[in-house]
Amino acid sequence: MKHTVNRSYLAILSIICLIVCINSCSQSSEDSGDYEFVLIDSIRINIPVEPHFVEVKKSNDKILLYSRINSTFYICNSLGEIILEHVRIGEGPGYYNKSVYQAGLQNEQLVIQDLKKIYKYNLKGDFLEDITYQPAFVYSSSGNIKNGLNSLNDSLIINPLAYSGAVTFNSNKLAVIDTISTLELINTITGQTYDAPMNIRFEPNSIYKQDLVYPKFLPLVDITEEETIIIAYPYEQRLYEYGLTDNRLELINTIDFNLDQFKLPRGVKEDELTKGVNPILSKNAGLNSSILKIFGTKGKEAFILYSTGVPDRYEAEQALGKYYKESKLLGGLIKDGKLISSGIEIPNNGFEYMNEFQISYWGGNQWAFIQDNQEEQDYYRIYIYNLVLTD
């Protein structure tokens, strides 16, 4: 009787293990593997002056675009029809400084942040109000729409330029990097700013702990659908995930990954830096593999956009121009706390110089890319793709 019970128990245990194994393998097969972008549609936008996406995600079927050439915002509907053309650079009520740090659509309003104020307009372009805020940090960047608004809720936004871009030029680089461990938050209703401390401390083997200087340090920030905050740095293959509790960022998870075709970045010694505009750093910016943008996508998933850099055969005395086309834009997909795919080719439809501002996540598996129309010169197109697992 005892042996019968043991055999029955072992048989049931074996069946359970088999079911778990099958489910695990099925899940792994379903989620992991090679992904590709498949074209499903395109939208014509009648903007002839090199528009780019302001926000990394589409807001309520509206598309916010910006052109650096004429400093104009464009709001389009899902058909590409222009709802609003907006430019208000100047002085006086409703006019903002030319150095715009962030912009976005929030509560059916166009919100623009410059050096000292946050401006709000309705979707007809009428000025509603401005809110003065006191930045907790001195910005070293000149603005020019580097970020879309990262809204934690209807009133609270993340200010990703809280970090100084000049950190890599500082002789006390290690100390500065170690003390930059807070993210500025701005209340768009009251203008109140406050810090949400983070517990980032770079590990001893981090490239940012070394003596070499690198061209870029500014963090990349986005928010997932589950309202966690994800942060990455251009040359570190690591993703930090935070939750916000009582205005404090708490580290939930750290994800290390190894992106396909991601070269170790090159830096220079401080005594190699020249005064004024630094040719060494600008050349290195092209040479380096670099994470360009992160997207919080479905649930707690994340998509990493990165560049491979120019080939190693490049020599410092040569011009970079002819090599840029050999620097590829690729993507990596993170799910369940791990990298499940990388080296995903970013489509360009013949557009020679793609950049991170031409890409936007539109929900689900859908992505949008602004690409030049090769046949007509007076408009651009937004090409819509699905990111799918290949057979």
> Residue 244 falls within a domain, yes or no?
yes
Its domain, for residue 107, covers 30-389
- How many domains does the chain divide into? 1
> Residue 133 falls within a domain, yes or no?
yes
pLDDT in tens, the chain (391 residues): 444 445 555 455 455 444 444 444 433 334 556 999 999 999 999 888 889 999 888 878 899 999 988 889 999 998 999 999 999 999 999 999 888 888 999 889 999 988 889 999 999 999 999 999 877 655 544 555 667 888 888 888 887 654 444 455 556 666 666 666 677 888 888 888 877 777 777 777 788 777 788 877 778 889 888 888 999 988 999 999 988 887 778 889 999 999 999 988 878 777 776 655 556 666 677 778 999 999 999 888 999 999 998 877 666 556 666 666 778 899 999 999 999 999 999 987 666 667 888 999 999 999 999 976 556 567 888 999 999 998 7
Measure the CA dihedral 183/366/54/169, to 10°: 50
**Nearest Cα to Cα of residue 373 among 358, 341, 351, 357:** 351
Burial class of 285 by CB neighbour count within 10 A (0 to 12, 13 to 18, 19+): middle
Structure tokens that stand for 195 in this block: 């810090």
> Residue 16 falls within a domain, yes or no?
no
> Residue 166 falls within a domain, yes or no?
yes
Q: What is the CATH number of the domain that holds 137?
A: 2.120.10.30
Give Cα separations from 337 to 33, 291, 374 (angstroms). Answer: 16, 18, 40
> Residue 70 falls within a domain, yes or no?
yes
Under 8 Å between Cβ of 365 and 303: no
> Residue 373 falls within a domain, yes or no?
yes
**Nearest Cα to Cα of residue 297 among 244, 252, 363, 358:** 363
> Residue 211 falls within a domain, yes or no?
yes
Structure tokens that stand for 270 in this block: 């401080």
